[in-house]
Amino acid sequence: MHHPQVKHTIEIFKKLFANLPPLVPPEVANEMEHALIHLQSDYLLTPEEMDNMVIAFGKKIWPYWKAFEEFYALYQGKLGEKFLLGKLSTGVKKHYILFKDHGADYKDLRMGKGAEFFSLEERMEFKGALVEIDNELRKYVQQEVLSVERTKYEDLIISFQTIFEDIEKRLGTLRLMAEDEAEHPQIASEIREQVKAFEFGLCLLGPHSRLSELVEFEDYYLERKMTKKILGK
């Protein structure tokens, strides 16, 4: 039997594999499929080994995932409400229009800001409709980025690959900084934890990672290192 943490991470890995964005290289998809088959029967795998494997694959698909999510968010804004209105019952649709008349919008609804405005039954109808919309929109966007939006999608993938190269360089710098802190184990451990947390965010094992946060981490530890050098510590 798998360690509970390993079992949880395998489920995340399954989710990553089942929802691969368009144009992920076939060899990467094949590697993930073979790895998943192996993982499900390897009961000696440690949580750390499992995390490292998911991170490795997460990094390979990150530029594609980010590019697809950009298009998905765009189409969610353009078509999401149209899809929603086509699914709501007449009464709930009228109440939704009243919700908008009060200054709210589709984005507010998705963020749960209508909790006090709608009844429990209405909220349940919205919940079911939004799940259907998300699934239908993803399929729609997949078709779009493989046809009329393909060139833009490919360009966006390249842009995110460039961003990812910058991320990797910064993570590498932080790892070297951790090694340089051999005389300060607590600081070294702190840096490694920040690196791991950021990597988790790249592959859905943790909160979403932002490049701005990584830059802040790097600047913070560089300043600490400079201060220690000046003070002779």
Q: What was the pLDDT predicted at 228?
A: 64
Q: Are 137 and 87 in contact (CB under 8 A)?
A: no
Residues 148-177 pLDDT 10s: 999 999 999 999 999 999 999 989 988 988
Q: Which two tokens stand for residue 104?
A: 């709210």
Residues 68-81 pLDDT 10s: 999 999 999 999 99
Q: Which two tokens stand for residue 220?
A: 């913070």
pTM, to two decimals: 0.85
Q: What was the pLDDT predicted at 141?
A: 97
Tell me which DSSP letter residue 113 carries. Answer: T
CB-CB neighbours of 78 under 10 Å = 10
Q: Are 28 and 61 in contact (CB under 8 A)?
A: yes
Domain ranges of the chain: 4-231
Residues 3-21 pLDDT 10s: 777 788 888 889 889 999 9
Per-residue pLDDT band at 84 (split at 50, 70, 90): very high
